[in-house]
Structure 1
Amino acid sequence: MKILHTSDWHVGKVLKGQSRVDEHKQVLANVIEIAVAERPDLVIVAGDLYDTAAPTPEATRLVTRALTALRRTGADVVAIGGNHDNGQALDALRPWAEAAGITLRGSVLASPAEHVVDGVTRDGERWQLAALPFLSQRYAVRAVEMYELTAAEATQTYADHLGRVLTRLTEGFTEPDRVHLVTAHLTVVGASTGGGERDAHTVLGYAVPATVFPGTAHYVALGHLHRSQRVNGPCPVRYSGSPIAVDFGEQENVPSVTMVEVTARTAAQVREVPVPAAVPLRTVRGTLAQLAEATPPEGWLRVYVREQPRAGLREEVQELLPRALEIRIDPELVPAPGSGARMAQRAGRSPRELFADYLDSRGHDDDGVRELFDEIFEEVDR
């Protein structure tokens, strides 16, 4: 069977105030074109369809139309909720999804059978997919309890709970003539972050070892980390990465989808198919003079200015580089906190003095900024 594995669309993303809806339309159109050309038997969308738990109507239309178009290629389509998605809101779309022939699982449901999807390819290959949406720590405990496993101990880790849930969902992975698949939205120990993920859900106890996946799985399709990569484990484990660079920390990633060919008797063969439609993200550095002389790269820009801070600097950079979304003083020019400056003591000091100390600590010696602060302070202090 052939599988198209994608994840982390983050539809509705706004980057430094810039809407990316047109880019998302082009990116998802690319994904659909790849599906038309490749004719997969199954499309897996491994979470984070949206960038926010409260997507706009426009974002919802874009996601539902993309899923519908993928289904119209003849492929089965399975999508799960990620940590950015509202799982219950996705579950509310299940009547629409079922009518469209799409399997949608936004959150963990009381019956394990709800998360085990069976199918048959055009050529008669049988497959079974365990679909696990993102689980927060507290819901991981609830899921263990719902599935009537050993009661959760207070000292047990997130990985323990997730491992128990996956064991329950994959207990049917025993038939030799069926392709066994897993999709989940989580962080695996040892994998590399893409640069734009939500830190709270990639660290602080949310990472699990690859051993939570059964050795009987033919392929594990993961979402959450935005860099396409293979992860060492007891079976083939892979992140597809995001088809669009979500933030500037991801500018070196190559947006793609993952194509997998596998049978019940042969190992998974994996290849990446690039998705080139998104506007690239680039970082440029230099003084104003250097920025004025250089030819800016294509795409949205993050600019590190090699100048001392002063009032109006941002506007000067934006005049030179209209596609600059983020403008910062080059970190190499910013003094380390507390270096060369006395940390302000709050007691008995005026706001003007405290602000002056802050400017000194940051190497900011523009009198215009101090005067502007004084004017604002006088206005609000009346």
Structure 2
Amino acid sequence: MKFLHTSDWHIGKTLKSRNRLEEQAGVLREITQIAVDNDVDAVLVAGDIYENVAPTADAHRLVVRTLLHLARQNIEVVLIAGNHDHGATFEAYKPLMDVAGIHVYGQARSAAKGGVHTFRAKSTNEHVNIAVLPFLSQRYAVRAAEIIANTPSQNVGAYDQLVRDVLTNLTGTFTPDAVNIIMAHLTCTGGKFGGGERPAQSIMEYHVPAAIFPVEAHYVALGHLHRRQQIPAACPVHYSGSPYAIDFGEQNNTHVVCLVEASPGTPAHITDIPVTAGRSLRTVHGTVAQLTADPAGYGKDYLRLVVTQPGYAGMREDLYEALPNALQILIHPDHAGTAVTAGISVDQPVRTPAQLFADYCHSVGVSDDRVAALFNQLHDDLTRSTTRP
């Protein structure tokens, strides 16, 4: 049987206040056409369908129309919630989506309560098992382990062990006469960041070793890290990556969907199919004269400009007028003293909220791991809205 693995659509994502919904629509049309052209049995979307937990009506409309179009082609459509999605909302719509042939999973559940999606491949009539694991925050991983795997949380403190216990329950239903797949939204230890992920829910306790995936799995379809990559493991473990550049940190990434062919008893064969509808992001350095010398040469690329000359009043306006696709203007650190005059930020590495809070604690003489842990928990609550499984 054949299926497409994709993830991290982030529909509704804006970039420096620039609306990208039309671009995102083009990306989804291309993915849909790839699925149809390759006559796939299923499309698996491994989380972060939306950019935030409260998508706009236009973002909802685009996603729903895309999923319906796929389902009408007699394609099995299965998707899980990522850390940017609202899992409880996915669950609320699940009965209605099931009727439409779209199978959504917002929260972790045991195999006995539907945590493994099963179907027959239309092309081969092969039996397919998909163990589905939506994103689990630290505290809900504890809760999920208690409910699904009957694991006392006081005896299991590590996040990776909690996830392992949940997966053990789900993959216990795998059978040798079926194509057995795991779909999860998480960070694998050793995985490379794409550049646009949410750090607070990707690092710290939020990573698991690839060894948690059993050899019986024909394929592990992961979402969360935006870079296309394979993680070394006993079975094929793959991130499809985001199908377009989410932020400037991803400007050099390769954007694809994974076409996977698998049969019981044989290794999966994976082919990367490029997705080209997304607009390229580009960071360019130079003086104002150099940056504006050939505007047509940038094509439709969105630009981040790093100015390598002293700032002057009106510089920002001059650059935006000459380069309407410029989304961000920075002053090179060598000219940091003139940034205020130009009203432009200095080109500096982006620091995570946790790093900024650690700097603050250091400045006021606070050194307590409990304070840092509380900050991380509060930040997780603010950036991840969900209910317990």
Q: TM-score range by the shorter chain?
A: 0.7 to 0.9
Letter in 2 for 1:326: Q
**Shift, 1:237, TM fit:** 0.3
Given the superposition, is the C-alpha separation of residues 367 and 297 from structure 1 closer, same or farther in structure 2, using an over 3 Å criterion?
A: closer
Q: State the distance in 2 between where 1:77 and 1:321 align.
A: 41
2:44 aligns to what SS in structure 1? strand
* Pair 1:258-2:232 in alignment: no
The answer for the alignment partner of 1:166 in structure 2 is: 167
1:64 aligns to what SS in structure 2? helix
Q: State the distance in 2 between where 1:150 and 1:16 align.
A: 44
1:188 aligns to what SS in structure 2? coil
Instruction: State the identity as a percent.
Output: 46
Contact 1:185 1:223 in 2 (8 A): yes
Equivalent positions of 1:1-382 (< 5 A) are 1-109=1-109, 112-122=112-122, 123-153=124-154, 156-173=157-174, 175-295=175-295, 296-298=297-299, 299-331=301-333, 333=334, 362-364=336-338
Contact 2:331 2:339 in 1 (8 A): no
Range that drifts further, 21-30 or 305-314: 305-314
- TM-score in terms of structure 2 length: 0.84
Q: State the distance in 1 between where 2:207 and 2:314 align.
A: 44
Range that drifts further, 184-193 or 288-297: 288-297
Q: State the distance in 1 between where 2:32 and 2:2 align.
A: 15
Contact 1:181 1:218 in 2 (8 A): yes
Q: State the distance in 2 between where 1:365 and 1:95 align.
A: 54
Contact 2:83 2:201 in 1 (8 A): yes
**Shift, 1:367, TM fit:** 6.8
Structure 1 stretches of 4+ with a deviation exceeding 6 A read: 365-369
Contact 2:149 2:165 in 1 (8 A): no
Contact 2:128 2:178 in 1 (8 A): yes
Task: Say which one has the larger Rg.
Answer: 1
**Shift, 1:283, TM fit:** 1.1
Q: State the distance in 1 between where 2:110 and 2:160 align.
A: 20
Q: State the distance in 2 between where 1:257 and 1:365 align.
A: 41
2:221 aligns to what SS in structure 1? strand
2:179 aligns to what SS in structure 1? strand
2:284 aligns to what SS in structure 1? strand
Given the superposition, is the C-alpha separation of residues 171 and 364 from structure 1 closer, same or farther in structure 2, using an over 3 Å criterion?
A: same
Q: State the distance in 2 between where 1:79 and 1:45 align.
A: 5
Q: Which runs of 5+ in 2 are unaligned?
A: 344-389
Q: State the distance in 2 between where 1:246 and 1:365 align.
A: 27
The answer for the alignment partner of 2:367 in structure 1 is: none
**Shift, 1:307, TM fit:** 1.7
Q: State the distance in 1 between where 2:149 and 2:308 align.
A: 60
2:263 aligns to what SS in structure 1? coil
- Provide Cα deviations, 1:202-243, integer angstroms capped at 9, x if missing partner: 111101100111111000000001111111112100011111
Q: State the distance in 1 between where 2:255 and 2:304 align.
A: 19
Residues matched between the structures, number: 340
Contact 1:78 1:103 in 2 (8 A): yes
Q: State the distance in 2 between where 1:223 and 1:124 align.
A: 27
Contact 1:47 1:82 in 2 (8 A): yes
Given the superposition, is the C-alpha separation of residues 29 and 289 from structure 1 closer, same or farther in structure 2, using an over 3 Å criterion?
A: same
1:206 aligns to what SS in structure 2? coil
Q: State the distance in 2 between where 1:95 and 1:142 align.
A: 24
Range that drifts further, 66-75 or 28-37: 66-75
Q: State the distance in 2 between where 1:30 and 1:46 align.
A: 18
**Shift, 1:112, TM fit:** 4.8
- Provide Cα deviations, 1:2-44, integer angstroms capped at 9, x if missing partner: 0100100000011001000100111100011101101111110
**Shift, 1:96, TM fit:** 2.1
Given the superposition, is the C-alpha separation of residues 307 and 74 from structure 1 closer, same or farther in structure 2, using an over 3 Å criterion?
A: same
Contact 1:311 1:366 in 2 (8 A): no
Q: State the distance in 2 between where 1:220 and 1:109 align.
A: 18
Q: State the distance in 2 between where 1:53 and 1:64 align.
A: 16
**Shift, 1:308, TM fit:** 2.0
Given the superposition, is the C-alpha separation of residues 112 and 324 from structure 1 closer, same or farther in structure 2, using an over 3 Å criterion?
A: farther
1:187 aligns to what SS in structure 2? coil
Q: State the distance in 1 between where 2:264 and 2:5 align.
A: 18
Q: State the distance in 2 between where 1:22 and 1:368 align.
A: 32
- TM-score in terms of structure 1 length: 0.86
**Shift, 1:155, TM fit:** 6.7
Q: State the distance in 1 between where 2:191 and 2:251 align.
A: 18
1:293 aligns to what SS in structure 2? coil
